[in-house]
Amino acid sequence: MTKMTDAPSVPVDALDTAAHTPPQPEAWVTDGEGVTRREVGPGQRASNEQPLGGTLKERVEDFLVDEIPSYDPVGDGEHLYLGVQKSDMPHGEMMAVLARHFKVDESAIGFAGMKDRVAVTRQSVSIHLPGRTAELTGAFAPLEHGRMQILWSKRHLNKLRRGHLKGNRFSIRVRGVDPLGVRQVYRSMQALERVGVPAYFGDQRFGYRRNNHLCGLSVVLAQPKMLLDELLGSKGTPFPPRQLKMRRLYEEGKFTEALEGWGRNDRSERIALQALARGRDAAGAVRALPEYMKSFWVSALQSAIFNVQLDTRVREGSYAGHVEGDIMFKHDSGACFQASDAAATELDERLRLAEISPTGPLHGKGMLPPTSRAAAMEQDALSACGVTLEAMTAPCATEFTGARRPLRVFFSNWEVEGGVDEHGAFIRCVFDLPKGSFATVMMRELLGATVASIDGRAIDTEQS
């Protein structure tokens, strides 16, 4: 074994139909005519080196994730913090299991981030248990579940909120590669450690049909029927043929019959159909959906716009540089400033030292806007995703805010090794990434590695 370490339905004409379409299996179907979507997942790789390829997540245990918390619980308060390990489990199922076990609504459960579905992950969650002293002190019934464990528990004063983490540590085995290619990967990691990895949002942000951002667009535009048609109907984004029957039943208004075809992991589809079957209108069915899911869809729309803009920056070679009107990000403090406030030579040096990076938009209220050429590029990305700046800043039933996101991300504490185990050859990469970063994007940049699929359906549909 060679080992190397280093220390420390949206109208089609509203979209850019000239762009390449998402990588959906040829056998997938839709009753819609001429439905063409722009690909909004990770765009152009920054590396010009021929990729080694390989496959991620062939086995669940090949992808390990450990959350790096921002703080430790203090041992007092009415929120019970839990260390949860889950294996091959979607985030929604974890939430449902915890809600049933502790007999609380899902809104009482807090988490810092959604972890990969096809992986073994460890993270903190919080459960609000006011007045339930015995459970708060650890006297709760053992959780018996084949794919989920509670590792520890401790009280804290506040709910765990999205973003309350420093990052995640990953240990990833890539299959289907020559382990001797580890030397190329090592050189690539050395280079990327200096210049940074394009900070694309990963494919899993957009769901297995790559349409979460279209659901988010419906939420932002306050179009509940449009959302349900995309989620449940047969005329939107292509889908596996096995879903055709229940999607046509939805189109016919046969909601109870349509419900029977969806599985336990299709939570949003089931909740919406149950509401429709009980007589609610489209708006009522959308209100019945979990708020975290609607927020996730809106976040996917923000992510799509960001990815389109970053793809342009990578293609022109400016994702690690600056253009006129840029907003820059300080990596030490997280603060942003106008590039025009500093001399070009100063910006170049600070970019080289990885002190700062240019940013892209996460559109919403409160986002610091760029000017000049940077603003024009961001407007082009909005148009490509079929939405306006006005819509992204208007009041919305699902609240969201705007922010700036650096166009590149830096990893740390990395090592890489190549070898063979009982399941075959592999290259294993270990590294820490800051919150909001995607390990699948990192591996795609390093090796061109892709996520495995089952029967044409991407097996991972969640955020890293």
Query: Which tokens is 411 given?
Result: 């990893």
CA distances in angstroms from 209 to 41, 68, 169, listed in the order given: 12, 30, 28
Report the half-sphere exposure of 84 (CA within 13 A, side-chain side).
30
Q: What is the number of residues in the chain?
A: 464
Query: Which tokens is 309 given?
Result: 């803009």
Helices (H), 90-181: 91-102, 133-136
Query: Which tokens is 327 given?
Result: 């907003």
Three-state DSSP state, 234: coil
From the list 88, 116, 229, 311, the catalytic residue is 116
State yes or no: is 76 an active-site residue: no
Give dist(CA 272, CA 262) in Å, integer: 11
Non-local CB neighbours of 296 within 8 Å, separated by 6+ positions: 114, 212, 463
The number of angstroms, rounded, from the C-alpha of 419 to the middle of its chain's C-alpha atoms is 30
Query: Which of 114, 112, 111, 119 is closest to 170 using CA atoms?
Result: 119
Helices (H), 81-159: 91-102, 133-136
Question: How would you label 430-443 residue by residue, b for 16+ Cβ within 10 Å and e otherwise?
Answer: bbbbbbbbbbbbbb
* Tally of CB atoms within 10 A around 341: 9
Give dist(CA 182, CA 237) in Å, integer: 39
Q: Are 360 and 404 in contact (CB under 8 A)?
A: yes
Give dist(CA 418, CA 429) in Å, integer: 9
**Positions marked active-site:** 116
